[in-house]
Amino acid sequence: MSDHAAVHEHAEEVSIWPAVISIGILFAVPFAFSFHFVYHNGLYAALSLGLGVPMIVMGIVGWVYEALHSEPVAEGLAPPAMGWFILAEALIFLSFFATYWVVRLGAPVWPPEGTVELPKLMPLVMTTVLVTSSFTIHFAEGRLAQGDRRGFINWLILSMLLGLAFISMSAYEWNHLLHEGFTPATNIFGTAFYTITGFHGAHVIVGLGIFTAMLLPALRGQVNEGLVKSGSLYWHFVDIIWFFVVSQVYFWV
């Protein structure tokens, strides 16, 4: 019996997944980027990506399952921790917006030369979709609190579909604008437009990743409530940032 306890404690002290994820990031991001953009070596860039991305995915999957099977050190701390994280995230967007405000308010003419007309309808549709998804994930959480796992899964899947729709519309729109010759290099507005919408889109994708990490175990009957609560908190945050993107980038003319 005591033997068993010792083994158990050991298992909790060690985890290889953080190391796997970190080394994966090292390959997938700095190495791949540098090989491609700095040293112009496409083969090595592809190899770095090919090595790094699977490591990251494997690491996250391993981590999620390990977390489901071990006792947390303390219960219920994921949502406040997510709160701190969101503070940091908010500052990233604030920096980009501040940069945008400074160049825009200091510009002699606005919009700068080369800017094309931005669509107005698409961002409104995107807003509707994203706001709806904030509600659906809230409903999912509510279902879970009532012990209705089936309902939770359904609302979660709906939220993910809405998130996917949002990303697809965003990709469609980028594609459209790039074809009209409006690129990040066109002028300072192109720079601001693509980085701000791009960072926001990246956050939506991360949110979808978190949702996937909730969905897959849930389909097999395992739910990590801390992850669900903090994941939906994150999603609401991404939603709120979108209001700034829409009002500052699309509709402030």
Partner 1 sequence: MAGVLREWLFTTDHKKVGILYLIGSVAAFAVAGIMALLMRAELSAPGPTITANPSQYNVWLYFHGAAMILGFQIPALTGFLANYLVPLQIGAKDVAFPRLNALSVWLFFAGIILALLTFVLPDPPDVMWTGYPPYSEITQGNTAFYSFTVLLLGFASILGGVNFLTTIAFMRAPGMGWNQLNIFTWSVFAAFILQLIFVPVLGTAVTMIMFDKYLGTNFFDPTQGGDVLIYQNLFWFYSHPAVYVIFLPFIGIVFDIVATFARNRIFNYKMVVYGGIGGILLLAGEVWIHHLYVTGMPDWLRVGQMVTTLMISVPVGLMFIGLVGTLYKGSITFNTPMLYALSVIFLMLIGGLTGIPLAVASIDINLSDSYFIPGHFHYVMAVAGTFAIFGGIYYLFPKMTGRMYNEKLGKTSFWITFVGVNLVFFPMMMAGLEGMPRRYWDYSQFPQVEGLHHLMTAGAVLVAIGFFLALVNWIQALFKGQPAGNNPWGSRSLEWTTASPPQHGNFPEIPMLSKDWSPYAYGSSQ
Positions touching partner 1 (CB under 8 A) are: 9-10, 12-19, 21-23, 25-26, 29-30, 33-34, 37-39, 63, 66-67, 73-74, 77, 80-81, 84-85, 87-89, 91-92, 94-96, 99, 102-103, 106-107, 112, 183-185, 187-191, 194-195
The CB-of-35 to partner 1 minimum distance in angstroms stands at 10
Taking a C-beta distance cutoff of 8 angstroms, is the pair 142, 159 a contact?
no
**Cis omega (within 30 of 0) on the bond before 111?**
yes
**CB 134, min distance to partner 1, A:** 23
Element (H, E) at 213: helix 188-219
DSSP 127-174: HHHHHHHHHHHHHHHHHHHTT-HHHHHHHHHHHHHHHHHHHHHHHHHH
Q: Report, in Å, the least distance between residue 188 CB and partner 1.
A: 3
Measured from the CB atom, the residue of 129 and 241 that comes closer to partner 1 is 241
CB of 206 to partner 1, least distance (A): 13
Question: Taking the complex as a whole, how short is the minimal distance between the CB of residue 76 and partner 1, in angstroms?
Answer: 9
Contacts of 214 (CB under 8 A, 6+ apart): 156, 223, 224, 227, 228, 231
Residue 99 belongs to what H/E stretch?
helix 78-106
- Pick the closer one to partner 1 by CB: 76 or 142: 76
Nearer to partner 1, 39 or 251 (CB): 39
Q: Which of 90, 16, 103 is nearest to 60 (CA)?
A: 16
Q: Rank residues 1 and 14 by Cβ distance to partner 1 and give the closer one.
A: 14
Q: Which is nearer to partner 1, 36 or 149 (by Cβ)?
A: 36
Please calculate the CA angle 109-110-111 and round it to the nearest 5 degrees. 130
